[in-house]
Chains A and B, each alone.
Chain A
Amino acid sequence: MAVERYLLPPEGSDRRLLAAYRQAGGYAAAARALREMTPEAVVEEVKASGLRGRGGAGFTTGQKWSFMPKPGGPKPSYLACNADESEPGTFKDRQIMERNPHLFLEGLIIAGYAIHARAAYVYIRGEYVTAFRILSKALGEACDAGLLGKGLFGTDREYDIHLMRGAGAYICGEETGMIESAEGRKGQPRKRPPFPAVYGLWGCPTTVNNVETVSHVPAIITRGAAWFKSIGTPTSTGNTLFGVSGHVNRPGVYELPLGTRLREIIETHAGGVRGGRALKAIIPGGVSMPVLSAEQVDVAMDHESLKQVGTLLGTGGIVVMDETTCMVRAALVISRFFRHETCGQCTQCREGTAWLYQLLHRIEAGEGSDVDLKTIESVGGYMEGQTICALSDAAAWAATGFLRRFRPEFEAHVHKRRCPLPESFEA
């Protein structure tokens, strides 16, 4: 069955201007939601659709919205949209913002209505200057057309969308780090509880949602929860954007149902491993998620199936590595990233990320020992489940994931005192 796309525009069709987006039926879902449905009915529809967050944690979106207070409380509510997209291997939200900006804005309008938000603040990573420019233009058009602001869609409501810029720190993608940053501070995550639904932006009730997550909502309103649930698997519903990078012939972003087999994504959509080489390893959902080996390529890309093989769906950012690739180097590059990005608040994370990098560096240089391999596992153990946010867990999973899945290769580095893969990429 051909995949029906609803996130990315068809090839060759430019939906960036309001007129083109409307021509394709755009903003009908928002009109319907705001004029014909109560906010509670929108929440129920999204709950029934089974939509789960696309930012990495996979939390059920409708349920998250239902944590928000009823209107009339002492403080306004806000939608904080996470457009920080910095998880290495992930480049999908950028596709939505640059190619279908009005779909994203429409999603923000409906989501904000559902949670009674006064406004949405979109936190866009600072490097995404093109996405920022395209969104600014789309936002201007939407305001001029009365789709935002006072009396939007002819209702008696008021709702604004504001664009903010980050400045290069990965930790500002963590939801409370993002909130701190949006308040004009260092992006150091907050302890929870209280959760953002109680104490978020400026101390007000806040829902944090990813760009892709809200972009699914217009289709759910137009086509209904039952239609959405018919795509994917029972607990991982709808399409998603898989970003495929690394050693494939056609890297890119592919909109496919959740539950599509990893093999099909790599071989059919991404054109197979480049140069006819053999597949060796795959990171399934951004570098925070434990790596898989080639034997596991038949796994279905949904939350449950990936859990069963010891990893997670994460952001759906798939990094493919061929037979020439040194696994110690791959782990080293990733540990260098986490060492650079730790915000330093928690000892386990600040010290642990530095340790992991040093250990991997030593092993890669042919100066490691068997004890170093054990130390990676024990340091990783101390880093899990102990800290303010999940960056520490991610750094530990990434390093121990490579070690557990490819232990003989790590041991070969230690015993031969050099890298056994002469053709590997350089770190």
Chain B
Amino acid sequence: MSAAVGGAAVLSDAVKDAIRTEVGKYPQPRSALLIALHLVQDEIGYVPLEAQRQVAGLLGIRPIEVREVVSFYPMYHEHPVGRRNIQVCVNIACALAGARQVVRALEERLGVAAGEGTSDGAYSLEEVQCLGSCGTAVCVQVNNEPYIEGVRSDGIDDLLRKVC
């Protein structure tokens, strides 16, 4: 287990270089932490402990200082999520446009509850707060890709086709 996780967790040279470039933009290296964690998550899909340790090393801070940031911010995942992590906004404008029905339809189609992932690791489903797309509710974001807007519960097939 640890070997596999550790293997996947080793940061590539490309990510390390990208983090070093970011560090150069700030008077204090630590300021590059949030963007560094995004770079890690983009590559690995989540931010495992071993990767946190390596990021800490690159920024000259303690691993616990990285962990505290990973756990504070909703966008970072410390454990694997589905390869396609479907995030549905359930805040007010999206709720008024039927976000609850969208979540329910996705739960039925994927066979999971919001907050869970399918057993094959392909999909996970999350409820999120306002995405800043209230005029085109219901708003859905998959991983950290551009938004899918104007989603309705009767268009879930369409949504899943786009998502794959």
Chain B residues whose C-beta falls within 8 Å of the C-beta of A86 in the assembled complex? 129-130, 132
Stretch at the interface among A3-11, A19-27, A126-134: A126-134
Complex Cα distance, B72 from A170, in Å, reads: 11
A residues 154-209 near B (Cβ < 8 Å) are 162, 164-170, 181-187, 202
| A77 within 8 Å of B (CB atoms) | no
Complex Cα distance, B25 from A95, in Å, reads: 26
| A interface residue count range (under 10 / 10 to 19 / 20 to 34 / 35 or more) | 35 or more
A residues 261-316 near B (Cβ < 8 Å) are 283, 287
Complex Cα distance, B133 from A243, in Å, reads: 10
Q: Within the complex, which residue of A88, A89, A251 is in contact with B136, where a contact is CB–CB below 8 Å?
A: A251
Chain A residues whose C-beta falls within 8 Å of the C-beta of B37 in the assembled complex? 167
Q: Within the complex, which residue of B73, B90, B134 is in contact with A319, where a contact is CB–CB below 8 Å?
A: B134
A325-B96 contact in complex given A252-B135, A337-B129, C-beta closer than 8 Å: yes
Query: Is the beta-carbon distance between A251 and B95 smaller than 8 angstroms?
Result: no
Query: Is the beta-carbon distance between A243 and B145 smaller than 8 angstroms?
Result: no
Query: Is the beta-carbon distance between A426 and B95 smaller than 8 angstroms?
Result: yes
Complex Cα distance, B133 from A93, in Å, reads: 11
B1 CB to closest chain A CB, in angstroms? Answer: 27
| A90 within 8 Å of B (CB atoms) | yes
| B5 within 8 Å of A (CB atoms) | no
Complex Cα distance, B146 from A374, in Å, reads: 44
What string of 1s and 0s marks CB contacts (under 8 Å) between A224-257 and chain B?
A: 0000000000000000000111110001110000
| B113 within 8 Å of A (CB atoms) | no
| A383 within 8 Å of B (CB atoms) | no
| A317 within 8 Å of B (CB atoms) | yes
What string of 1s and 0s marks CB contacts (under 8 Å) between B81-124 and chain A?
A: 00000000011110111101100000000000000000000000
| A47 within 8 Å of B (CB atoms) | no
**B61, B131, B135, B141: which has the most chain A beta carbons within 10 Å?**
B135
Q: Within the complex, which residue of A88, A93, A166 is in contact with B91, where a contact is CB–CB below 8 Å?
A: A88
- Measured CB to CB, the residues of A under 8 A from B are 85-91, 93-94, 125-130, 162, 164-170, 181-187, 202, 243-247, 251-253, 283, 287, 317, 319, 321, 325, 329-330, 333-334, 337, 340-341, 425-427
7 closest pairs, A vs B, by CB? A184-B33, A167-B73, A245-B134, A184-B30, A168-B75, A88-B130, A168-B74
- Measured CB to CB, the residues of B under 8 A from A are 25-28, 30-35, 37-38, 59, 61, 65, 68-69, 72-76, 90-93, 95-98, 100-101, 128-137, 141, 144-147
Q: List 27 A-B contacts (CB under 8 A).
A: A86-B129, A90-B130, A125-B132, A126-B34, A126-B38, A127-B141, A128-B132, A130-B146, A164-B31, A167-B75, A168-B75, A169-B73, A184-B32, A184-B69, A186-B69, A202-B27, A243-B134, A287-B91, A319-B93, A319-B134, A325-B96, A330-B92, A334-B92, A337-B92, A341-B129, A426-B101, A427-B100
